[in-house]
Amino acid sequence: MTASFSETAYAKINLALHVRARGADGYHRLETLFVFAEDGDQLEAEPAGQLSLQVTGSFASPLLETPDNLVLRAAEQLRRAFGIREGAAVLLDKRLPVASGIGGGSADAAAAIRMLCRMWAISPDEPALARIARDLGADVPACVVSRAIRGEGRGDELLPIDSAGLSGLPLLLINPGVAVATGPVFAGWDGRDRGPLGRGDPLTAAIEGGNDLESPAIAIAPVISEVVRLLVMQDGVALARMSGSGATCFALFRDLASRDMADRAIATMRPGWWRLKTALR
């Protein structure tokens, strides 16, 4: 029997995101608090002679039009870096919206790295893995960890945080069905440095902070402001705002009953919006 491997590409949420400056290299310097949901896309793989990728799921269509998938790029870089001759038949079940501010391709690439390292007996402590993750994208290193962590620089300089008060918090994700490209959102940033994120309790720091990309994202997709407004109105909300560069928004709740009540209310008001009831890892 052929051994199979599986991995979850956990949805990424930016509890807060401050853009501090744009560097001479064109990249924005930022500070962000990454957390991850218990749910996400699903990957499976079996050993094979060549590398292949099959994409299924509710949000597969946009990826079928793009042959340069981050999952395949991650697999190819692993093979080159560690002299792997075997291939892998990878199946990606795309359950999260594409171009939506919750990790997407970055989370998928990170999950592929974790999964294929097990398949190909590559130690997760190999220094080359950090370089591969950074080469694939600024969010990929945090997505490899997939635990609450602070990101600085481009978001790929990772610093530990005390996540004891975050794990298990009920979480509701809402996407209004609008794909928002990251580049134009960053280009719309007003250039104002609103200061650093706090370094104390991460939830307190997030509540006192904000997402500097929310305004430029709303300028591109005004419906985002409606999503945030509806989430903020719900009972039991500890924090609600847009994640990343949008358009997915999130709310953290004090208890499961409040989250589930909010989910039902928004489903009634906006039945066409994508929703995910989950919790923080």
Q: Which of 8, 23, 274 has its CA nearest to residue 138? A: 23
Q: For residue 76, is it left (φ>0), alpha (ψ between -120 and 50) or beta?
A: alpha
Is 39 annotated as catalytic?
Answer: no
pLDDT reported for residue 1: 46
Half-sphere exposure of 30 toward its Cβ, with a 13 Å CA cutoff? 28
Q: Which residues contact 48 (CB under 8 A, 6 or more apart)?
A: 86, 87, 88, 89
* Structure-block tokens of residue 24: 């001479």
Active site residue 12: yes
Q: Could you say which of 108, 139, 212, 263 is catalytic?
A: 139
Instruction: Catalytic residue, from 12, 39, 41, 263: name it.
Output: 12
Reported as type and span, the H/E element at residue 157 is: strand 157-160
Q: Which two tokens stand for residue 236?
A: 């039991």
DSSP calls for 193-207: ---PPP-SSHHHHHH
Contacts of 188 (CB under 8 A, 6+ apart): 215, 216, 217, 219, 220
State how far the alpha carbon of 69 is from the alpha carbons of 11, 106, 135, in Å.
18, 10, 14
At 2 the pLDDT is 65
CATH architecture designation of domain 170-279: 2-Layer Sandwich (3.30)
Query: Where exactly are the structural domains of the chain?
Result: 5-160, 170-279
Residue tagged 């709303």 (tokens): 218
> What CATH class does 5-160 carry?
alpha beta
Residue ranges of alpha helices (H) inside the chain are 61-64, 70-82, 105-119, 128-136, 140-145, 182-187, 202-208, 214-220, 223-233, 256-269
Per-10-residue mean pLDDT, the chain, length 281:
86 98 90 98 97 94 75 97 97 94 96 98 97 97 98 97 95 96 96 95 97 98 98 98 98 98 98 98 96
**Geometric angle at alpha carbon 73, from 99 and 32, rounded to 5°:** 45
Q: Do domains 5-160 and 170-279 have the same CATH topology?
A: no
Q: What are the φ and ψ backbone dihedral angles of 9, each rounded to 5 degrees?
A: -95, 90
- Residue 266 is classified by DSSP as H
